[in-house]
């Protein structure tokens, strides 16, 4: 009987360890689940933050694209309003502009230029220069060189030419 008591005692001890082990495993499992749940909540918060930032970046990109389209439209409007060479015309020196005004005035006095005397050497001015050159036996290259300048000065209408030969481009060829 001693043996039977020993077996029963061993079974009681073994069952106590088993039960206590199960409860500690259950506590550990519960703590792990709680930790994982906290990590999931943290990750969800981060994902929401990233999604918010992504939508902000998309909004800014759309605004920037709209601004670029507006700038392109403004540029196109400027170029169609006769200012296609906007940067080039604005960078010309005052002396060049005055010289071009003199050329336009002389061409107008000679009957070759019908446009506004504005100091801008545009299509009308170059065309008038070529017509003047052809009519005066000069190379019709549209460049006011020494010979063209001398021929133009006859149409200064008695006023003294302000650029009197200075700063005039050389013509490609004579006659």
pLDDT 10s digits, 66-103: 888 888 888 877 765 544 444 444 455 888 899 999 99
- Which tens digits make up the pLDDT trace of 135-160? 999 999 999 999 999 999 999 874 44
Residue at token pair 């700038």 = 71
- Given a cut of 80, whether residue 45 has pLDDT beyond it is yes
Alpha helices in the chain (DSSP H): 2-80, 86-91, 94-109, 123-135, 146-152
Contact call for residues 108 and 116 (beta carbons, < 8 A) = no
pLDDT, one tens digit per residue, over 104-132 is: 999 999 999 998 999 998 999 999 999 99
Query: What pLDDT does 111 receive?
Result: 92
If you ran DSSP here, which 8-state letter would residue 169 be given? P
Q: How far apart are CA 6 and CA 15, in angstroms?
A: 14
């Amino acid at each position: 009987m001693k043996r039977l008591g020993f077996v029963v005692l061993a079974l009681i001890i073994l069952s106590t360890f088993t039960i206590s082990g199960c409860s500690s495993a259950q506590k550990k499992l519960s703590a792990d689940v709680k930790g994982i749940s906290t990590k999931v909540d943290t990750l969800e918060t981060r994902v929401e933050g990233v999604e918010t930032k992504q939508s902000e970046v998309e909004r800014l990109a759309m605004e920037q694209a709209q601004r670029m389209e507006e700038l392109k439209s403004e540029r196109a409007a400027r170029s169609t309003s006769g200012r296609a060479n906007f940067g080039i015309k604005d960078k010309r020196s005052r002396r060049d502009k005055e010289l071009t005004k003199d050329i336009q005035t002389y061409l107008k006095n000679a009957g070759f230029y019908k446009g506004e005397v504005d100091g801008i050497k545009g299509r009308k001015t170059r065309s008038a220069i070529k017509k003047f050159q052809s009519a005066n036996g000069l190379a019709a290259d549209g460049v006011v060189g020494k010979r063209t300048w001398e021929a133009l000065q006859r149409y200064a209408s008695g006023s003294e030419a302000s650029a009197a030969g200075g700063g005039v481009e050389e013509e490609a060829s004579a006659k």
